[in-house]
Amino acid sequence: IFHLFLHTRKKMGLLLLLIICQCAINSIKTHSVSKPNIILLLADDLGIGDLGCYGNRTLRTPNIDKLAEEGVTLTQHIAASPLCTPSRAAFLTGRYPIRSGMAAFSRVGVFLFSASSGGLPSEEITFSKLLKQKGYATALIGKWHLGMNCERSNDFCHHPLSHGFDYFYGLPVTNFRDCKPGQGSVFLKGVQKDLVIPIRITGIALVSLAIVQYIGLLKVPFHALGYFLLIITISLVVLIFFFYHFRHLNCFLMRDHQIIQQPLSYENLTQRLTKEAMQFIERNTDVPFLLVLSYLHVHTALYASEDFKGKSKHGLYGDSVEEMDWSVGQVLDVLEKHNLSDKTFVYFTSDQGAHVEEISSAGEVHGGYNGIYKGGKSTNWEGGIRVPGLLRWPGVVQAGAYIDEPTSNMDIFPTIVKLADAQLPSDRITDGHDLLPLLQRKVTRSKHEFLFHYCNAYLNAVRWHPVNGESVWKVFFFTPNFSPEDSNGCYDSHVCFCHGGFITRHDPPLLFDLSRDPEEKVPLTPETESRFYEILRVVHQAVDNHTRSLHAVPNQLSWDNLLWKPWLQLCCSSLFQSCYCDYESGGSPLQVHLG
- CATH code of the domain containing 202: 1.10.287
Last residue of a domain, one of 196, 212, 244: 244
pLDDT at 584: 86
Written as one string, the DSSP assignment of 406-423 is -EEGGGHHHHHHHHTT--
Same domain, 82 and 211: no
pLDDT at 203: 72
Last residue of a domain, one of 214, 244, 274: 244
Residue 163 annotated among the catalytic residues of the structure: no
The H-assigned helical ranges of 338-471 are 382-385, 412-419, 436-439
3-state secondary structure 18-52: HHHHHHHHHHHHHHHHHCCEEEEEEECCCCHHHCH
Same domain, 70 and 121: yes
pLDDT at 215: 78
pLDDT at 283: 98
Same domain, 276 and 389: yes
Same domain, 224 and 263: no
pLDDT at 233: 76
Report if residue 7 sits inside a domain: no
Query: Global pTM?
Result: 0.89
Report if residue 594 sits inside a domain: no
Structural domain count of the chain? 2
Same domain, 89 and 127: yes
Tell me the C-alpha distance between 144 and 141, whole Å.
8
Tell me the C-alpha distance between 132 and 220, whole Å.
64
Report if residue 453 sits inside a domain: no
Report if residue 348 sits inside a domain: yes
pLDDT at 38: 98
Last residue of a domain, one of 199, 215, 244: 244
Active-site residue (options: 84, 179, 498, 571) = 84
pLDDT at 562: 97
Report if residue 524 sits inside a domain: no
Residue 144 lies in domain? 37-175+252-446+554-568
Report if residue 582 sits inside a domain: no
Same domain, 93 and 227: no
Same domain, 225 and 310: no
Same domain, 81 and 230: no
Same domain, 211 and 322: no
For strands 344-350 and 458-464, give the pairing.
Answer: unpaired
Same domain, 326 and 209: no
Same domain, 63 and 208: no
pLDDT at 166: 98
Residue 145 annotated among the catalytic residues of the structure: yes
Tell me the C-alpha distance between 131 and 492, whole Å.
44
- CATH code of the domain containing 288: 3.40.720.10
pLDDT string in tens for the chain (595-residue length): 444 444 555 455 544 444 444 544 444 344 346 799 999 999 999 999 999 999 999 999 999 999 999 999 999 999 999 999 999 999 999 999 999 999 999 999 999 999 999 999 999 999 999 999 999 999 999 999 999 999 999 999 999 999 999 999 999 999 999 999 988 887 766 555 666 666 677 777 767 767 776 777 767 676 666 777 778 777 777 667 677 789 999 999 999 999 999 999 999 999 999 999 999 999 999 999 999 999 999 999 999 999 999 999 999 999 999 999 999 999 999 999 999 999 999 999 999 999 999 998 888 999 999 999 999 999 999 999 999 999 999 999 999 999 999 999 999 999 999 999 999 999 999 999 999 999 999 999 999 999 999 999 999 999 999 999 999 999 999 999 999 999 999 999 999 999 999 999 999 999 999 999 999 999 999 999 999 999 999 999 999 999 999 999 999 999 999 999 999 999 998 766 779 999 987 544 444 443 3
Same domain, 216 and 264: no
Report if residue 279 sits inside a domain: yes
Distances (CA, A) of 9 to 15, 157, 511: 10, 67, 73
Which residues neighbour 320 within 8 Å (Cβ) at sequence distance 6 or greater?
Answer: 297, 298, 302, 303, 304, 308
Report if residue 506 sits inside a domain: no
Q: Closest Cα partner for 159 from 119, 219, 190?
A: 119
Q: Closest Cα partner for 503 from 482, 489, 484, 524?
A: 482
Active-site residue (options: 145, 158, 159, 299) = 145
Q: Exposed, middle or buried by CB within 10 Å (0-12, 13-18, 19+), for 8?
A: exposed
